[in-house]
Structure 1
């Protein structure tokens, strides 16, 4: 039995949470809290994708794991532990890295995608594939004391490339290289799960669409800021039909 069998909202849900399928890409500091909260909410199926193994340096921020998990694949260990804790949710492990050969098929089997990866190149690639696959995606990223989150919904203008630029040229230190404050990734992981639940529940007004959450733990700040959709964005504008409100 799920700890929260039903999430009650005042809008028409897209589908019951117990029938929903959420894909979590990355089972680290962001993905661990997001996956756990999806289980708490009673989401029917959560697929965890990660090809890495648990390292000692992960344990301060990846709360699903402990020292008994060291050296083991993250996705199967997280699926086993979360499945035992939240038996109403089916946790499925994919212990490999997404690539061009498998991503389209995996995304097509899910209703919502959570980007909990830790590399900008991977984030932008997954973002673009989700848009092409017509799958809504919640993004979060964090390094050091700072992080951000937003949601991209196909058919609605405004995406990660609108915010950052088509070729953002962002330096790409990982949490492993640059470090990250555990509370930052946990805060953003909670928001990732909330974005998935809001979309599945039909609470579109709650989503971070054309808005992003900015977290600055060093100054104790959390702010939601708006950004403008780029009318020439190659990721979202060309696929958006202003009149039909659908992807073309």
Structure 2
């Protein structure tokens, strides 16, 4: 091979190597982004497992709150059904009164000059009205029974909702049962109903049981005034931060190991200083 041929081949080889190894800045950046995105798209197992998960206490609290919400919702639905049944009963009663007020009196032959045909027609109208009244009376009784049943169901639902709320409140106030079951805590009808209905009913009961004077004042009020006062108490308690109480005895305050006027600890005192500190002569 001649020198010219060898030189040409060397130049061609160098150019080919440059083309294969050369990488533009845009290509390099794109390659880095692909690599980074691949790393981000595949988190490690430890990262996946280290997500924020609720603690056992939080899960228990959430479950408690879900049950409270469910029972409260059921109580409100039952109360709505009771109101509707009560309204329907009132409608049936009004219809019955109207039928009875418009019902003809028992006809006699004398009223129709002993005209048998007219008398027979009057008796037919009388019997038809009596039948309508009897049917309406039966429907009213049936509706009244349904209203009573709906009212009982609503009351039971309210009690169940209150029980769930009490369980949650008791977790924050360990002395709840002791406080509200005190024989001196007397509840009037308006107070009992307000405690059952309110979302923070247990807090109201707890507050009133701890304030017998206030409880007595409310029990002396008429139902409307008592309901208004209990509503104000409920609103005020709802804005206050709960204070957690426990049955754990109050810790004994430790005895100071140094007098107020001394800067020495017991270990630093001399025998005379220690005797003076303890009050020995």
> What TM-score results when the alignment is normalised by the length of structure 1?
0.26
- Bigger proportion of residues as helix: 2
Larger radius of gyration: 2
Flag the structure with more relative contact order, 1 or 2, with Cα contacts below 8 A and sequence separation at least 6: 1
- Bigger proportion of residues as strand: 1
